[in-house]
Amino acid sequence: MPSRSGRSTAPSRRPPRARAGVDVYLFPAVVGGGLGDIEEVLAAGRELEGAGFRTVLYRRAGRPLPRAVDGPWEWPGVERRARIVRQAPAALTVAPAWGISAAPSRDEPFGRGGPWELESGDVERAYGPTSTIHVSLEEFARTLGPAAENRERLREGGVPDRDLGRCLRRSRRAGEVDQFRTAFTRYREFERPNVLHLFSTFRPAPGFAREYPEAVQTGPLWPRRFPPGSAHPRSAHRPEWVWYASPASAERVAPEVVQGLADSDPPVRLYIRTERPWSATFPPDRVEVVTGRLDPATWHHRFAAADVRIVTGSRTLLEAVELGGPFLYFNGVLGEGIRRRRHRPEKVAALLALARAAGVSAALRRDLADFARGRRVRSVVHRAAAGTGAWARFPRHLRPVGFRPPYDDAGRLVLAVADALARSPTDALGIVQRTRAGSPL
């Protein structure tokens, strides 16, 4: 008998008249290290299930789910199954970075398959490759070409700015840019004609499209958890900030955040959610540190009610943008002193570019950029808490630019692909090809 999963076990919310034609299989997993990879798959699942598609969490009998998957998540209504039961002529799977999480193993170095390779293969064999589309949700805003990726590899690896040019020239002469291009194409499985690679971001990158024509750039996969502009107004009494402090280096900058709030009037309470215990101690009447995972509904209510949110990664960033209202971004830093550098800065870089295009003031953009670098933290926090100057004009509606529907919204695009497959259940390859070309579906 199938079981249903909600926040792990709530009943399905699928409308009585479910859409026919496509069975949807969700393959959530942690790919990069953060839990956002799981939430992104579930967000796509909620989009599809809410539209009436049958959604399934299929795992072979005797195989435990990948790490962190069976936890307090906001699941769509899914059928849990240990064997495939076809109810439609076609299938659509959703996985984070399919080439890493669900592609089959290869007999070569670095050829080990992902945690969903067996189940993904079972789905394709059951429905056939021309009736199966694998949706691959790639990392948000990571749309760098090979040369830029090579530069970022060296920068994050600790090469100082003064040596970066020389190291880049040596790297190019050694053929490392071409090696990256080849490896990225191979291990993302771009050559597979029924895999649809979605790279969501705020603005399309033409250079990335030229380098990787199989990659489909889209607008964000929105959480759709908060109605736009539903952020609460600043509190008239005890205001509160919330911080999703998942980077390990968050603990290093936390004292400066607390100091920046010290003179707030009225006093600001800081609620910190972290995935690991902290050794730092703070005044309990001003700061609360909560370790571990929380009930999603409790967290989302607190997140929405906060006066200011400090976010990280991509999912909480998109939640903050969706809500509207002031926020800060911190995805971690590496190194110390003059060698301090941002960890994976492409998301905040994409946000700042979007803000510049939207006419956001240079002062506010500078504060956001400095906080993300772990610089001037105390003064930035102080200004944000006061809510004056540039912070009084924090943009409430930042939306992606440069896309046309449905490519402007990854969730809507996935839904359009599923609808197209339902209409033509043996045309998976053609649908993927048209989507890669940016054609109407």
Query: Which parts of the chain sit beneath pLDDT 70?
Result: 1-18, 228-237, 337-338
Contacts (Cβ under 8 Å, ≥6 apart) of 404: none
* pLDDT of the residue at 18: 55
Contacts (Cβ under 8 Å, ≥6 apart) of 102: 27, 93, 95, 113, 114, 115, 116, 117, 119, 120, 134
Q: Which domains occur in the chain, in start order? A: 3-138+188-220+404-436 (3.40.50), 240-393 (3.40.50)
* pLDDT of the residue at 292: 79
**Over the Cα atoms of the chain, what is R_g?**
22
* pLDDT of the residue at 120: 98
* pLDDT of the residue at 233: 55
Question: Model confidence over 398-415: pLDDT tens digits?
Answer: 999 999 999 999 999 999
* pLDDT of the residue at 20: 79
Task: Answer for the pair 144, 131: CB distance below 8 angstroms, yes or no.
Answer: no
Alpha carbons 124 and 56: distance in angstroms, whole number? 14
* pLDDT of the residue at 341: 77
* pLDDT of the residue at 32: 78
